[in-house]
Amino acid sequence: MEFASTHVYNYDNSDEECVSDEELEHGMTLSDDEDSSDEDLGPAYDNLRGASSAVEVTDADVVEKDADPVYDNAEEARYTEIPGSSSLVSTKKRRHDELPPPPPPAPRLTLAAMPLGEATAHVSANKKGKERSSMKKVSHWRSAPPLGGSSHAEGTHAEGKKWRRADTNVVSIRFNTLTSPSNMHTGDPVYCRSCQAALSHLGKITTQGGDQVWLCEFCGENNMVDLMPEEIPQKDDVTFMLQPAPTTTASGNSGTDKSLVIFVVDISGSMCVTTEVPGKVKLRGTERLHRLNRSFNELHEDQHLPRERRNVTFISRLQGVQAAVDYQLSEMEREFSSRRVALVAFNNEVEVIGDGTDVPLTIAGDKLKDKDVLKKAGSELSLPKSVKETRKALSEKLFELEEGGSTALGPALLVAVSMASQCVGSKVIICTDGAANVGVGRLDLVGDELRQESELFYSEVGQMAADKGVSVSVISIKGTDCKMVELGKVADTTGGQVNIVDPLKLTQEFGNILSEAIIATNVTATFLLHKGLYIRHESSQDSKATRNIGNVTGESEITFEYGVRKQPKKHQPPKEDVIPEEQESLRSRGSLAEAGPSTASGSNATKTAPDIDKLTELPFQLQITYTDLEGAQAMRVLTQAKPITKDRDVAEKNMNVNVLGAHTAKQSALLALEGEYGAARMNVHMNQRLVSRHSKSHVASRPAYKKFFSSIKPLETRIHQQVRSERDTRGTTYSDEEDADAEEDDNIRNEDRLLLKTASEGDVAGGSAPPQFKKKQKGILAALKKRSRRAECSDDMAKDIYEAVRAPSKGFKD
């Protein structure tokens, strides 16, 4: 366990901070004193600006932000009026011999109304020019104190969104240590009968009437125990062997790597699209094409068009995949000769080539729509021989593949996962350039019920793979649309990777995936807190949370955020822990700035919240149950105690920016996947402020803050762009602010619209909607928002989100 601070921040009531609408429109920014050197922000920020900037703004171009632009066409928006002049300056770079056509008169362009790329480019250009002082400065959040803190200074934000001020109560867990168990104990752990905490080195055992009694340090429960001194853990990190390994089935610590890798290759018609490469490149497998060309050009006449480049080679997507897979075959033959490799190809059919030594199995027609048939076909396939035995045959089959047909990606995935399930620790690598449109898992369907059926299919396949210890990674070709938001769900569930790459860089991407080996399967992490604390962003605000992780690699990492339970006011009876549904939803997103529920819930429920003010430190425990690749089942228990402080400055002084950065990326990405774009962005802004405060008082942490900014900025920008796109296309966004207009939304199903209408009309007597209808309405709106945003999520955005979910804390080190 790695903590975001050396201290637990014990607040009485959470502070609020305000983010103005103007700041949200501008996106994640640095203040003037922070923005001293763009070069220090790293390549991610540079790439973001370069990719999103659609125009070049010169030093002479000045845009005033107070005007409200109205443009009739895109051409009109390319011109900007210079303050103090009646002339218009083109925001598009002109050639020296080219004069622009006379533009129609246009209002001044606001910076807030610009596309994000143009606004970023404009700000960058104006920093270098002399006109910067003529722009009205956007008030920065650093000028405003937190709400509930000191009084507001002049010029602070009067309007905007209020949000809970971020703090350092965050814990990160990395799983790389599972490869080396420490302080082994035989037998099962001793659990508290109330909260299920395991007895650790922090436990205090006393003798009462001849009996051993353990007073649980987490919930205060007395537990009768009968232990020998050597059975009591003495270290903060211990491992309990629950069940020894029966046999070595894959690549265990002492066994040879006999894991299975299955390449699932798209050979649909679109895989023939080519990329131009300078020079004459000779690729294996092109002899057939050359023979075909010669048959159409027997006289060998020049076939080039006038001025056509001749010293180039056009490489198809499939050729890029073939070259990359063949290279990995040679590498595995050299480095991991006992590893087993299989090949599955798909277009409008699924062809299981296996290791290339047997007759391929072809699945077509109605069988592609039957999940049971596909599972049976995959599970009955024989496992491949070692790559050292099949390398030549498999390579020959690989280069015989030809493009043509549709995309039966769903059936191919299910067959591959079923085959890989025979071997724990297997990897399935999908390479595709289009959305599934044949058989189960079709992603080209119209209608909520059909889309939900396909979404459920990928969820089920992902869970099936995770349960069997199979990792699924998805690679799509740059410039295509594969509905990565759905395919990425399978990769995220199984511990795989998601990426969009140039077809000429597939070799490197395959290598990255294969180098990240699974180290444990069936991983479950249970995080326990003192009953005076609760875990944020969980379905129940308990002092205990369990997450089913599935497969983990050495890079896998998860984070938890915790809060302090609210103390009941003096002379008032304690309230039962009843949290309204609406407040629970908001609180899980971090938007309620209160101390949290006043009582514990679940297994360690109490009548009143414990007063942790009387304590000097609090315990934390992590229980990880897992199965290693040799089949052994174990539980690792890590227990630590951390000092408490009521001083926010003390907690922030000892901040770990790496942990906060990873948590910010993961939590914001998870909120984005749920369609909560506003909450995702607010989470980013609040944590940026937290890290910025630390960097101002600790100069040594300045590079870490810049790393935080450059790492988080692309995700926040991507979400920001999507929100703007919604506003441009719909006139509004899928947010809770538009509840009143929801009944008129064309995306709502008829039965949902009727329910919304009933809820909004209310009952006749009271004039207000019954509570059950209001709750149902909020659920409908939340589901609508999630469905709509998932349907509109681009592959590039999905890739950024899933990468953020996997973000490791070490990636935030400067």
CA distances from 261 to 385, 483, 491, 519 (A): 12, 24, 15, 15
- % of the chain residues with pLDDT over 70: 67
Tens of pLDDT, residue by residue over 751-794, are: 555 555 555 555 444 455 556 666 666 677 777 778 888 888 88
Tens of pLDDT, residue by residue over 168-178, are: 999 999 998 88
Structure tokens at 470: 């199979």
CA distances from 399 to 265, 415, 692 (A): 12, 22, 54
Work out the pLDDT band at 424, boundaries 50, 70, 90: confident
Tens of pLDDT, residue by residue over 481-494, are: 888 888 888 999 99
Is residue 455 scored above 90 in pLDDT?
A: no
Structure tokens at 234: 């003495």
Neighbours of 41 (CB within 10 A): 20
Is residue 417 scored above 90 in pLDDT?
A: yes
Min mean pLDDT across 115-124, 156-165, 471-480, 725-734 is at 115-124
Work out the pLDDT band at 352, boundaries 50, 70, 90: very high
Reduce the DSSP state of residue 632 to 3 states and report it.
Answer: coil
Residue whose tokens read 């068009």: 305
Give the type of residue at 568: P
Helix, strand, coil fractions of the chain, as percent rounded to 5:
40, 20, 40
687 phi and psi angles, rounded to 5 deg? -75, -30
Is residue 373 scored above 90 in pLDDT?
A: yes
Structure tokens at 443: 């992603």
Is residue 292 scored above 90 in pLDDT?
A: no
Classify strands 237-243 and 633-645 as parallel, antiparallel or unpaired: antiparallel
Summary mean pLDDT of the chain: 75
Reduce the DSSP state of residue 81 to 3 states and report it.
Answer: strand
- pLDDT for 591 equals 44
- pLDDT for 104 equals 52
Reduce the DSSP state of residue 421 to 3 states and report it.
Answer: coil
Region 29-47: what's the mean pLDDT?
Answer: 51
What whole-number distance in Å separates Cα of residue 692 and Cα of residue 345?
A: 50
Chain-centroid distance, C-alpha 654 = 27
What whole-number distance in Å separates Cα of residue 195 and Cα of residue 215?
A: 12
Region 468-478: what's the mean pLDDT?
Answer: 90
Angle at 63 (CA atoms; ends 57, 66), nearest 5 degrees: 155
Q: Are 79 and 91 in contact (CB under 8 A)?
A: yes
Is residue 351 scored above 50 in pLDDT?
A: yes
Which residue did the predictor score with more confidence, 189 or 74?
Answer: 189
What whole-number distance in Å separates Cα of residue 242 and Cα of residue 634?
A: 5
- pLDDT for 771 equals 61
Tens of pLDDT, residue by residue over 95-138, are: 344 444 554 544 444 444 444 445 444 444 444 444 444 334 44
- pLDDT for 56 equals 35
Is residue 623 scored above 70 in pLDDT?
A: yes
Work out the pLDDT band at 196, boundaries 50, 70, 90: very high
What whole-number distance in Å separates Cα of residue 432 and Cα of residue 321?
A: 9
With CA atoms as reference, report the closest residue to 635 among 522, 557, 722, 718: 522
- pLDDT for 720 equals 92
Tens of pLDDT, residue by residue over 508-564, are: 888 888 888 888 888 999 999 999 999 988 777 789 999 999 899 888 999 999 999
Tens of pLDDT, residue by residue over 638-682, are: 999 999 999 999 999 889 999 999 999 999 999 999 888 989 999
Give the type of residue at 383: L
Region 30-37: what's the mean pLDDT?
Answer: 56
Region 725-730: what's the mean pLDDT?
Answer: 84
- % of the chain residues with pLDDT over 90: 28
What whole-number distance in Å separates Cα of residue 723 and Cα of residue 733?
A: 7
Q: Which residues contact 663 (CB under 8 A, 6 or more apart)?
A: 4, 170, 172, 559, 561, 687
Helix and strand counts by DSSP (H, E) for the chain: 19, 27
Please give the DSSP secondary-structure letter assigned to residue 5: B
Neighbours of 668 (CB within 10 A): 28
What whole-number distance in Å separates Cα of residue 247 and Cα of residue 46?
A: 51
Is residue 46 scored above 50 in pLDDT?
A: no
Reduce the DSSP state of residue 188 to 3 states and report it.
Answer: coil
Q: Are 798 and 488 in contact (CB under 8 A)?
A: yes
Buried b (16+ CB within 10 A) or exposed e, 52-86: bbebebbeebbbbbeeebeeeeeebbbbbbbeeee
Q: Are 613 and 507 in contact (CB under 8 A)?
A: no
Q: What is the dihedral of CA 182, 184, 185, 186, to 10 degrees?
A: 150
Reduce the DSSP state of residue 260 to 3 states and report it.
Answer: strand
Of 557-561, 611-615, 735-739, where does the model show the most confidence? 557-561
- pLDDT for 301 equals 61
Is residue 77 scored above 80 in pLDDT?
A: no
What whole-number distance in Å separates Cα of residue 390 and Cα of residue 270?
A: 29
Is residue 415 scored above 90 in pLDDT?
A: yes
Is residue 805 scored above 60 in pLDDT?
A: yes
- pLDDT for 506 equals 81
Give the type of residue at 540: S
Classify strands 361-363 and 350-354 as parallel, antiparallel or unpaired: antiparallel
Residue whose tokens read 């790559």: 387
Tens of pLDDT, residue by residue over 220-278, are: 889 998 888 888 888 889 998 888 877 544 444 445 677 899 999 999 998 888 877 77
Chain-centroid distance, C-alpha 698 = 30
- pLDDT for 226 equals 87
What whole-number distance in Å separates Cα of residue 272 and Cα of residue 274?
A: 6
Structure tokens at 348: 């409008």
Work out the pLDDT band at 24, boundaries 50, 70, 90: confident
- pLDDT for 186 equals 72
DSSP assignment string, 289-355: HHHHHHHH-TT----PPTT---SEEEEEHHHHHHHHHHHHHHHHHHH-TT-EEEEEEESSSEEEEET
Q: Are 760 and 743 in contact (CB under 8 A)?
A: yes
Please give the DSSP secondary-structure letter assigned to residue 108: P
Half-sphere exposure of 278 (CA within 13 A, CB side): 0
- The radius of gyration computed from the CA coordinates of the chain, to the nearest angstrom, equals 30
With CA atoms as reference, report the closest residue to 626 among 237, 201, 240, 184: 240
